[in-house]
Amino acid sequence: MRDVSPPSELIARQAASALWLGRYMERIESLARLLDVTRTFAADPSAWEAVTRINDDTERFAAAHPEPDDASVARFYLLDTANPTSIQVSITMARENARTLRALISTEMWLQINVFHVRICALTDRDLEPDRLSATLTMLKEGTQAHIGIAEGTLYRDQVWHFYRIGCFLERADQTTRVLDTRFHKPPDGLPDSEREGSHWHTLLRALAGYHAYRRLYPQGYRPDEVAGFLLSDTAFPRSVGLNLAQLGWHLTRLRTDHRVRGAAVALERVEDLSGMLTPASVEDLFVRGLSPFLDWMQRQIAALHNDIVTGICGED
């Protein structure tokens, strides 16, 4: 019988590349959806400024453009190679991380990301014009979804897969807190109960691909506390912070127990602490006391969790 040797030990650089590949591809889809939903549903022109605020780009954007509107924000995020949060930069970095993993990922996965990279790099101002922007954003969403599907169907379930999925879940949790925070920058009792406010919640839920799931739980109207609870603590919605923390905990545990990866204890402890704060009762209490400071703190904790993983487990500075 032929001897089959176990896969070689994953080196730190490959672990970090797998994590970043997951983050960058997830980031492209999130940004494309946010731009598409803002273009389609947002009635308030200030929504374009909110897009830059979600990505911590307010100052960087202001240095290059006089004011945020549909054309300038779309160009900033879809074509600007000098903007480190643009889709152009994200796909380039994703491809470079995939190159590092070339021997560990499938041929289908490698070919798809290369074709996707070419399509994104070929975008021009013409692709951002009103009659073509929707198709451009759809191409970006479908391209990332194809990548995720190919990875799901072909990526070997070893350490690379765990780190890749950890990157996806970190990015999802971070994006959800950022988008949600755009509606909780002031106390809940200051939010007007109006048709305009309902439009904001509608747009926010669609930006996180959560509108239809939310409607299954709450068929009529919008209540800020219910939206917050749904996006933070629901354990069935794929982009809720609570579910993504649970998935992070599972993958970190598998790395520690199945693959004997050292350094996971600190990250696991942080995940458990954060998860304990996102029970429905805890979120209800946070809502009453003011959610925006908590969301800011949670974003810092997700960044710290990322650092726990890349320094303590991947071994990178």
Domain residue spans of the chain: 12-312
CA atoms within 13 A on the CB side of 288: 5
Q: What residue ranges of the chain have pLDDT lower than 50?
A: 3-7, 186-191
Structure tokens at 13: 């650089």
Radius of gyration of the chain (CA): 20
At 68 the pLDDT is 93
Structure tokens at 236: 């069935």
For residues 105-131, one letter each, b for 16 or more C-beta atoms within 10 angstroms of the residue's C-beta and e for the rest, the string is beeebbebbeebbeebeebeeebbeee
pLDDT single digits (tens) 122-165: 999 999 999 999 999 999 999 999 999 999 999 999 999 999 99
At 316 the pLDDT is 62
At 193 the pLDDT is 52
Tokens 């990178």 sit at which residue?
316
At 187 the pLDDT is 40
Tell me which H or E stretch contains 26: helix 12-41
Cα 41 from chain centre? 21
Cα 167 from chain centre? 9
Rounded Cα distance between 311 and 317, Å, is 6
pLDDT single digits (tens) 11-51: 889 999 999 999 999 999 999 999 999 999 876 778 899 99
Tell me which H or E stretch contains 86: none
Rounded Cα distance between 117 and 70, Å, is 24
Cα 234 from chain centre? 17
pTM of the prediction?
Answer: 0.93
Q: Provide long-range contacts, Cβ within 8 A and 24+ apart, for 93-102.
A: 93/20, 93/24, 94/20, 94/21, 94/24, 94/25, 94/28, 97/17, 97/18, 97/20, 97/21, 97/24, 98/17, 98/21, 100/13, 100/14, 100/17, 101/14, 101/17, 101/18, 101/21, 101/160
Rounded Cα distance between 296 and 27, Å, is 19
Structure tokens at 19: 């994590």
At 312 the pLDDT is 84
Q: Taking the alpha carbons of 8, 12, 13, 18 in that order, is the dihedral positive or negative?
A: positive
Structure tokens at 220: 């009529």
Rounded Cα distance between 194 and 224, Å, is 12
Residue 65: φ, ψ to 5°: -135, 145
